[in-house]
Amino acid sequence: MKPLPYTPRHDSSRQSGFTLIEIMVVVVILGLLATLVVPNLLEMGELAKVKKAESDVNTIYNQAKFFKLTNNKQPTMEELTTPDAKGKTFIESGTKDPWDHDYVIRELERGKFEVMSWGPDGNEGTEDDISSTVKKEK
């Protein structure tokens, strides 16, 4: 019987690994993906804050309407966050909008009111304000 010839499993003269070109191609691809994805993620984060503020404004507005019906008077934020005679609190104490500003209840004509968040800039009367009476176009 003849012995089998020896064949090594890998060529020891050649090192395994990635070439510089392959690594550079991967880095360029990751850079391109980052430039496309990161701005969209940041924009989605801001959109989520706006949606949360809109939801909070509507919730506070509904609780304020309920307060007005049960107490026959226009509510203030302090009255909504303070327990009443029965121990009921209409909204959580210290409720702030996603930009860490206080929500505001503003009286309108003939006993009507609105709940407002001044939005990301925190300034009243700018286009980023969120109101319970103004519905934004989608």
CB 125 within 8 A of CB 79: no
- Is residue 38 assigned to a domain? yes
CB 94 within 8 A of CB 104: no
Share of the chain above pLDDT 90, in %: 28
- Is residue 1 assigned to a domain? no
Q: How far apart are CA 138 and CA 135, in angstroms?
A: 9
Is 56 exposed, middle or buried (CB count within 10 Å of its CB: 0-12, 13-18, 19+)?
buried
- Is residue 14 assigned to a domain? no
Question: Domain containing 31 — which CATH number?
Answer: 3.30.700.10
Tell me what pLDDT residue 8 has.
59
Residue by residue, DSSP assigns 72-119 as: SS---HHHHHS--TTS--SS-TT-B-TTS-B-EEEE-GGG-EEEEE-T
- Is residue 104 assigned to a domain? yes
- Is residue 69 assigned to a domain? yes
Number of domain units in the chain: 1
Model confidence pLDDT, tens digit, residues 66-119: 888 888 888 888 888 888 777 788 888 778 899 999 899 888 887 788 999 998
- Is residue 4 assigned to a domain? no
Model confidence pLDDT, tens digit, residues 31-54: 998 888 888 887 888 889 999 999
- State the residue range of the domain holding 126: 20-131
- Is residue 6 assigned to a domain? no
62 membership: H or E segment, kind and range: helix 20-71
- Is residue 87 assigned to a domain? yes
Dihedral (CA of 29, 35, 38, 44) sign: negative
Tell me what pLDDT residue 18 has.
84
